[in-house]
Amino acid sequence: MELLSTPKNIEINNITCDSFRISWAMEKGDLERVTHYFIDLNKKENKNSNKFKHRDGGDAGSWHKPGRLERQLMSGRREVRGAAGRDGLLEGDGDALMSPCLSPDYAKEHLAQLQEKAELIAGRMLRFSVFYRNQHKEYFQHVRMHCGNVMKPSLKDNSGSHGSPTSGMLHGIFFSCNTEFNTGQPPQDSPYGRYRFQIPAQRLFNPNTNLYFADFYCMYTAYHYVVLVLAPKGSSGDLFCRERLPQLDISSNKFLTCCVEEGELVYRHAQDSILEVIYTEPVDLSLGVLGEISGHQLMSLSTANAKKDPSCKTCNISVGR
């Protein structure tokens, strides 16, 4: 039997209290022969030490069972992510070396713990009327010229918790809805660009929409972010979220609500959290208004691929202990 090559350039990074990322390099020719990945996390120098436990109670170091990982290998995808003992995806650059990696995904019960923590700091609810999305002028020009005036969902980046099941998996469009306390209007500053698309809240959020909790994190600052997903009922995004994320009652939750009051829909958002709302379907620019904001572009506040503070006691949970 011909053995696989010895792994090279082994790295462990993105370490938090509940997740990590491990990567290594191997020869490209070996990739076609790999069917399982095995990571032994037991401490060899002390056989009596505690072992890392899987969510299902098994010791870490179990084989990835045949499933999504093998299907992705067969289809040429190059990303591996997932908890030990669970199916994953494969990540690499397609050159002579491939770099599979392992990073635990939160299960629904873990996200429920995050949700409880997020609810503790959500604060009172404030009324709002529009969702908005800031980007550079070139982004909206591209949408108009090459996308038929329609913003299309894109794959979520790796911002937030390392264990978020939406990272690198869910397609959507990021919107904001937070308002300034003194004006009740969206802030005039933005980290993402000076051009803002505003759309009436009912266009994206109504009784035919399901709402899901996806993440809670901070970036070494006092600000905390809550990631929510809005998915029209029965859509592909809705089906994805239903299996992986806690669903929220749209009329009664601590983050974002849609209620009927005196015959009209009324919207409210949490005051003390910055909400990042992912809408899972395409959005036509004709449904809203595009304009330029008068404030500054605060690049330092961007959450693109933002890394979660692993030491924050407010937004971290214990997984697999």
Per domain, the residue ranges of the chain are: 8-81, 108-292
Note the pLDDT of residue 4: 74
Question: In angstroms, what CA-CA distances link 314 with 9, 236, 264, 281?
Answer: 34, 32, 36, 32
Query: Maximum distance among all alpha carbons in the chain?
Result: 74
Percentage helix, strand, coil for the chain under 3-state DSSP, each rounded to 5:
15, 30, 50
> What average pLDDT does the structure give for the chain?
77
- Is residue 233 a contact partner of residue 207, using CB atoms and an 8 Å limit? no
- Is residue 255 a contact partner of residue 125, using CB atoms and an 8 Å limit? no
Note the pLDDT of residue 50: 42
Note the pLDDT of residue 190: 86
Note the pLDDT of residue 52: 38
Backbone angles phi, psi at 51, to 5 degrees: -100, 145
Mean pLDDT value of segment 18-34: 68
Q: Which of 122, 127, 120, 117 is nearest to 270 (CA)?
A: 122
One-letter amino acid at 162 equals H
pLDDT bracket for residue 43 (50, 70, 90):
very low
pLDDT bracket for residue 304 (50, 70, 90):
low
- Is residue 224 a contact partner of residue 303, using CB atoms and an 8 Å limit? no
- Comparing 234 with 67, which gets the higher pLDDT? 234
Note the pLDDT of residue 155: 93
Question: In angstroms, what CA-CA distances link 254 with 115, 224, 280?
Answer: 9, 14, 21
Intra-chain end-to-end CA distance of the chain, in Å: 38
Mean pLDDT value of segment 259-265: 94
Mean pLDDT value of segment 9-13: 77
Distance CA 153, CA 143 (A): 12
Mean pLDDT value of segment 271-284: 96
Low-confidence winner among 105-109, 142-146, 230-234, 266-270 (lowest mean pLDDT): 105-109
CA 147 remoteness from chain centre? 25
Q: Which of 55, 54, 95 is nearest to 78 (CA)?
A: 95
- Comparing 103 with 280, which gets the higher pLDDT? 280
Collapsed DSSP state (helix, strand, coil) of residue 194: coil
Question: In angstroms, what CA-CA distances link 313 with 114, 252, 275, 303, 318?
Answer: 11, 26, 20, 20, 10
Distance CA 321, CA 313 (A): 16
Distance CA 84, CA 100 (A): 13
% of the chain at pLDDT higher than 90: 50
* 243 has pLDDT over 90: yes
Distance CA 136, CA 154 (A): 16
Q: What confidence tens digit (pLDDT) does each residue in 45-82 have?
A: 454 444 433 333 333 333 333 333 333 333 332 233 33
Tokens of 126: 């404030």
